[in-house]
Amino acid sequence: MGRTRIEAAFAKARSESRAVLVAYLMAGDPDLEASYSALCALRDNGADIIELGAPFTDPMADGAAIQKAGLRALANGTRLTDVIALAARFRKDDQTTPLILMGYANPVHSMGYLTFAEAAAKAGIDGSIIVDLPPEEDAPLRAIYAQYGLSVIRLATPTTDEHRAAKVSEGASGFIYFVAVTGVTGAGSADPAAIAGQVAMVKRVSGLPVCVGFGVKSGAQAAEMAKIADGVVVGSAFVEKAGDAHATGRFEAAAPAMGALAHELRVAIDFVRKA
């Protein structure tokens, strides 16, 4: 198999001496049409990789912003099949931007790992981050993903020591998502100096690019993280834009607002020149 879209995205950023911007949005919030526009706006404004959130009723690793986004998406009837269809729609006109499904195990388990992997690969999804499937539990999914060329993206955290980093790296591909704080999404913010050593350790042990997320909301914070990692993940701040659009009832306002934030983040990240 040739280079994956994820590998290509990192290679491109490296050739431009910069970190990648990974943007998260909740599919179906405020509705699927707005999510499609948001995907395009994020891509057009510099997001290198997009995480497509799949809603779940019980997101126990998420803070208030993403919890509410998930409930809004579910309230308007978003199903896992809709999330996959949204990816397929985006992929029709975009062959390069990696799409990563991010969510919890039960909806995927409920669909069946094989059915899901088949549908995801066909839709042009590149991999997944399943928050509650640690390496100890994702072997069945991993075996199926290998057949479909999908990446298993794992999380490393401040509780990950070198021994654990080796475990996290087993069978992982694409990149490692380093969770900067012990806590839920959108809460607190990390001190880049405090995690820089650990990020470097995870990169060395895994041999994969490392993207840092959790608590990154502004351009300034993103720039700080870009100095110590291969990429920066921003989630809750984008999701809040969708929440604002929902609150005002002007769903069409979500995509431009998310695009503007992506632009701000990307400018800040680009400012940090990487070797």
Partner 1 sequence: MDLRNTWDKWPDANGRFGEFGGRYVAETLMPLVLELEAEYRKAKQDPAFAAEMQDLWTHYVGRPSPLYFAERLTEHFGGAKIYFKRDELNHTGAHKINNCLGQVLLARRMGKKRIIAETGAGQHGVATATICARFGLECVVFMGETDVERQKPNVFRMRLLGAKIVPVSSGTGTLKDAMNEALRDWVTNVETTFYCIGTAAGPHPYPEIVRDFQSVIGKEARAQILEREGRLPDAVMACIGGGSNAIGLFHPFIDDEDVRLIGVEAAGHGIETGMHAAALNGGRPGILHGNRTYLLQTDDGQIIDAHSISAGLDYPGIGPEHAFLRDMGRAEYLSCTDDEALEAFQLCTRLEGIIPALEPAHAIARVGEVAKDLGKDGLLILNMCGRGDKDVFSVAKALGMDI
Question: Smallest Cα–Cα separation from 32: which of 8, 59, 66, 55?
Answer: 55
Q: Give yes or no for residue 114 binding partner 1 (CB under 8 A).
A: no
**187 touches 63 (CB < 8 A):** yes
When binding is defined by CB under 8 A, the residue of 3, 11, 16, 161 that contacts partner 1 is: 161
Q: Give yes or no for residue 32 binding partner 1 (CB under 8 A).
A: no
Task: Note the maximum CA span of the chain.
Answer: 49
Task: Tell me which stretch binds partner 1 (CB under 8 A): 2-10, 19-27, 150-158, 251-259.
Answer: 150-158
Q: Give yes or no for residue 201 binding partner 1 (CB under 8 A).
A: no
The sign of the dihedral angle between the CA atoms of 242, 89, 265, 188 is positive
Q: Enumerate helices (H) and strands (E) in the chain, giving the number of each.
A: 12, 9
Task: Tell me which stretch binds partner 1 (CB under 8 A): 43-51, 161-169, 249-257, 267-275.
Answer: 161-169
Dist CA 187 CA 215 (whole Å): 6
When binding is defined by CB under 8 A, the residue of 13, 49, 69, 168 that contacts partner 1 is: 168
**135 touches 155 (CB < 8 A):** no
Minimum Å gap between C-beta 157 and partner 1 is 4
Q: Give yes or no for residue 106 binding partner 1 (CB under 8 A).
A: yes
Task: Tell me which stretch binds partner 1 (CB under 8 A): 7-15, 179-187, 199-207, 263-271.
Answer: 179-187
When binding is defined by CB under 8 A, the residue of 12, 115, 134, 252 that contacts partner 1 is: 134
Q: CB-based burial of residue 247 (10 Å sphere; 0-12 exposed, 13-18 middle, 19+ buried)?
A: exposed
Q: Give yes or no for residue 147 binding partner 1 (CB under 8 A).
A: no
Does 138 qualify as catalytic in the annotation?
no
Q: Which is nearer to partner 1, 149 or 158 (CB)?
A: 158
Where do the H-state alpha helices sit in 45-161? 64-75, 80-93, 105-111, 113-123, 139-148
Q: What DSSP state is assigned to residue 185?
A: T
The total of other beta-carbon atoms located within 10 Å of residue 226's CB is: 26
The total of other beta-carbon atoms located within 10 Å of residue 67's CB is: 20
Binding mask 212-251 for partner 1 (x = CB under 8 A): ----------------------------------------
**65 touches 186 (CB < 8 A):** yes
Q: Give yes or no for residue 136 binding partner 1 (CB under 8 A).
A: yes
Task: Tell me which stretch binds partner 1 (CB under 8 A): 36-44, 151-159, 236-244, 260-268.
Answer: 151-159
Q: Give yes or no for residue 190 binding partner 1 (CB under 8 A).
A: no
Q: Give yes or no for residue 121 binding partner 1 (CB under 8 A).
A: no
Does 51 qualify as catalytic in the annotation?
yes
The single residue of 7, 31, 48, 51 carrying the catalytic annotation is 51
Q: Any residues with CB less than 8 A from the CB of 63 and at least 6 apart, and which?
A: 183, 184, 185, 186, 187, 236
Interface residue list for partner 1 (CB under 8 A): 55-61, 63-64, 67, 71, 74, 79-81, 104-111, 131-134, 136-137, 154-161, 164, 168, 179, 182-184, 187
Catalytic residue numbers, as ranges: 51, 62
